[in-house]
Amino acid sequence: MLRKIIYIFTIIFFTCGCVTHERTVQEKKEAELVEEQRKIVTAPTDREILYEKAREYQKQRDYANALINIVRAETAPGDEGLSEDIRLFKNDLLENLHTRAIDESTAAEIGKGLDIPLKYMIFYTQGEVIYPAFNIPVSFEVKKGEVQITKKSFTDTNGVAECEVIKVEAFEEEEVLITANVNLDIEGEVFGIQKLQRDFTLHHERITEQTISFVIHEKNIGHVSDSSASGKRIERFFIEHGFSVLHGMNEKNNEVFMRAVNGDAKILHLYEDRLNTRLIAFTSIESEFSSKVAEGFYFAKSHIILDIVDTATKKVVFNSVIENVKGAGNTQEKAGTKAIHEATGEFIEKLAKDITSLDLQW
């Protein structure tokens, strides 16, 4: 009887033990499956990954990549609950990015470029701290006029992107307009930021905007004058027509004077240093004996040549001449003085007609 009881107990024990073991394994597998499913469900979506990348790039002050990732996050699939966070992050990023056009307006000449490139600066503000925004792609586009430029650039460690102005070919309404903006290539589409757009204006450099120094060489019947009343009359004419005029000097040395007019770089440099102006109006006023009708009745003839020279290019930018204007007097010298006086009057009348072409030649 006892043996029978033990046998039954043993069967029940092992049977129950096996059932218990199988149930434990099954429960473990189900738990692992639930955990795996939980991991899959909560794994970062594309939107979350892009959002986190944007935040990380912002911390590294890589604002270009921060912008690229947050713009992509806006349309990426994923948690819709992040939409507001993404919007706020993007708005905050753009709000703290600022741009500036350095020397946004400058003078230019047709047929020439600029010695110094246009500079477009991007920076990020955080409280009172300003950080330069480096390695951001910038595009430059001609909006008005015709000009050869470099169209693409990246900001350097100072947050500055440069645009070389190679050659101005034509102005439109006296100006050239060049626009700079951040242009990000996001999945084949260009993303521009209106807030960061800045304009550069190149305006026609009028000759009236330049200061002109006068160098006068006056010779009356072979005698070089210490001062020139005619030279001052010509200077006043330019002042009355809106030019900025600096009375320079009287030059007695005709050879030095002519070398400067002919573009002698060394002489021009000396004049430029002395007068401190780029444009110099070399004005030659001269009379010579013409004839003697009778004792006490003499004729002389006079000529005036004005050459405005650009000391930077060593070229004459404006020229006006009047010749063989007669004058009479009871001495040769007085006849010469009269001829110079008459020539000056006619020369000023001629200048009044020529003055409109000054800017065209400049």
pLDDT in tens, 199-223: 999 987 676 667 899 999 999 999 9
The residues with which 216 forms a beta bridge, in sequence order, are 250, 283
* Residue 316 pLDDT level (bands cut at 50, 70, 90): confident
Mind listing the domains of the chain with CATH numbers? 102-123+138-185+193-206 (2.60.40), 208-361 (3.30.160)
Give strand ranges (E) for 43-174: 97-102, 105-108, 118-126, 129-132, 137-144, 146-149, 152-154, 160-163, 165-170
Structure tokens at 17: 């033990």
pLDDT at 15 over 60: no
Per-residue model confidence as pLDDT tens digits over 329-355: 999 999 999 999 999 999 999 998 887
pLDDT at 241 over 70: yes
Confidence (pLDDT) at 164: 97
Structure tokens at 147: 């000009």
Confidence (pLDDT) at 48: 93
Confidence (pLDDT) at 111: 81
Whole-angstrom distance, CA of residue 318 vs CA of residue 307:
6
Count of CA atoms in the C-beta half-sphere (13 A) of 108: 35
Q: Cα 274 to the chain's mean position, in Å?
A: 30
Q: Cα 41 to the chain's mean position, in Å?
A: 53
Least confident interval from 10-24, 77-91, 226-240, 276-290:
10-24
Determine the residue type at 45: T
* Residue 193 pLDDT level (bands cut at 50, 70, 90): confident
Strands 279-294 and 211-220: parallel
pLDDT at 29 over 80: no
What 8-state DSSP symbol labels residue 172?
B
